[in-house]
């Protein structure tokens, strides 16, 4: 039964139209992407991501990073009187 | 990592599934196949960039996990993710939508401001929620370290 199903599937796929890229419009698309504005477009588009990556790295390697969200003094062992 | 994942929410949900906007749709509306494919290219560049940002976040998380002065708390982690997502919305929303007008959140209307402001407002809400989770995560750290 499974062999019959596989053969049927192959037969259907063989008869199907192949997926084709847009051969007609490709040169126009390439010309519209890789034009004199390419570098400016790329820079503007990636600006928010670059800022976020830069800010994240700056924060991560900053020595004061842990103190922004965590106070080490809270983690000191309780005083002996508090344990009694 | 949170900023990267927020970028994927924008790219996958708003660019591809809902198709509210594309990266350059403010300057080059996808009204024909060529313009749609050009926008598709720049969407791909954007996705590649946020993929790198996410991978970098994973690397930083790996490094942070080995540090003794970093609390290993689920709430802190979730709060960090929310803050990252909120930062993405605020930074990208301000620069791309309001300053550069590369695109707007919902292009199919004459008045772009309401959707743009909602995007920014959602970002601020994420920032506040994330901060709340991080504050709550301090208690997790205390319990873990003392016990």
pTM (two decimals): 0.80
- Is residue A50 assigned to a domain? yes
Please write down the long-range contacts of B20-23, taking CB distance under 8 Å and 24 or more positions apart: B20/B105, B20/B106, B20/B107, B20/B108, B20/B115, B21/B103, B21/B104, B21/B105, B21/B106, B21/B107, B22/B103, B23/A45, B23/B102, B23/B103
Query: For residue A28, what pLDDT band results from cuts at 50, 70 and 90?
Result: very high
Read off the pLDDT of residues A63-80 as tens digits, 9 standing for 90 and up.
666 566 555 444 444 445
- Is residue A17 assigned to a domain? no
- Is residue A49 assigned to a domain? yes
- Is residue A27 assigned to a domain? yes
- Which candidate from B24, B37, B41 shows the least CB-CB separation from A22? B37
Taking the domains of chain B in order of start, what are their residue ranges?
2-146
Contacts of A44 in chain B (CB under 8 A): 100, 102
d(CA B88, CA B102): 16
Indicate yes or no: CB of B95 within 8 angstroms of CB of A45: no
Q: Which domain, by its residues, includes A51? A: 22-58
Count of domains forming chain A: 1
Contacts of B28 in chain A (CB under 8 A): 32
Contacts of A28 in chain B (CB under 8 A): 34
The angle subtended at Cα B122 by Cα B117 and Cα B123, nearest 5°, is 95
Task: Identify each DSSP E strand in chain B by its residue range.
Answer: none
Instruction: With beta carbons less than 8 A apart as the criterion, state whether B37 and A29 touch.
Output: yes
d(CA B25, CA B45): 15
The nearest alpha carbon in chain B to A56 belongs to: B57
- Is residue A84 assigned to a domain? no
Beta-carbon neighbour count of residue B19 at 10 Å? 14
Q: Is A14 helix (H, G, I), strand (E, B) or coil?
A: helix
Indicate yes or no: CB of A66 within 8 angstroms of CB of B76: no
- Is residue A45 assigned to a domain? yes
Contacts of B37 in chain A (CB under 8 A): 22, 25, 29
The nearest alpha carbon in chain B to A58 belongs to: B60
Instruction: List per-block mean pLDDT (blocks of 10 residues) for chain B, which spans 147 residues.
Output: 96 96 94 94 97 96 83 89 97 96 95 96 97 88 54
Reported ipTM: the value is 0.88
Selected for mutation to probe chain A from B1, B2, B3 (highest A CB count within 10 Å) is B3
């Amino acid at each position: 039964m499974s062999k019959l199903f596989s053969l049927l599937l192959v037969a259907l796929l063989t008869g199907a139209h192949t997926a084709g890229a847009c051969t007609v419009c490709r040169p126009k698309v390439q010309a519209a992407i890789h034009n004199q504005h390419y570098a400016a477009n790329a820079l503007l588009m990636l600006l928010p991501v670059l800022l976020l990556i830069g800010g994240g790295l700056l924060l991560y390697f900053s020595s004061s990073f842990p103190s922004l969200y965590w106070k080490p003094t809270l983690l000191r062992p309780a005083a002996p009187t508090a344990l009694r | 990592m949170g900023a990267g994942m927020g970028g994927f929410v924008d790219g996958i949900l708003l660019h591809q599934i809902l198709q509210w906007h594309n990266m350059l749709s403010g300057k080059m509306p996808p009204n024909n196949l060529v313009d749609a494919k050009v926008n598709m290219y720049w969407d791909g560049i954007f996705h590649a960039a946020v993929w790198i940002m996410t991978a970098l976040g994973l690397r930083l998380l790996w490094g942070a996990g080995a540090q003794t002065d970093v609390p290993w708390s689920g709430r802190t982690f979730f709060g960090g993710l929310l803050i990252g997502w909120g930062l993405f919305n605020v930074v990208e929303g301000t620069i791309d939508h309001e300053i550069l007008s590369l695109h707007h959140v919902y292009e199919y209307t004459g008045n772009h401001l309401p959707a743009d402001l909602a995007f920014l407002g959602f970002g601020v809400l994420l920032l506040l929620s994330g901060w709340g989770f991080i504050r709550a995560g301090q208690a997790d750290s205390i319990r873990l370290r003392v016990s």
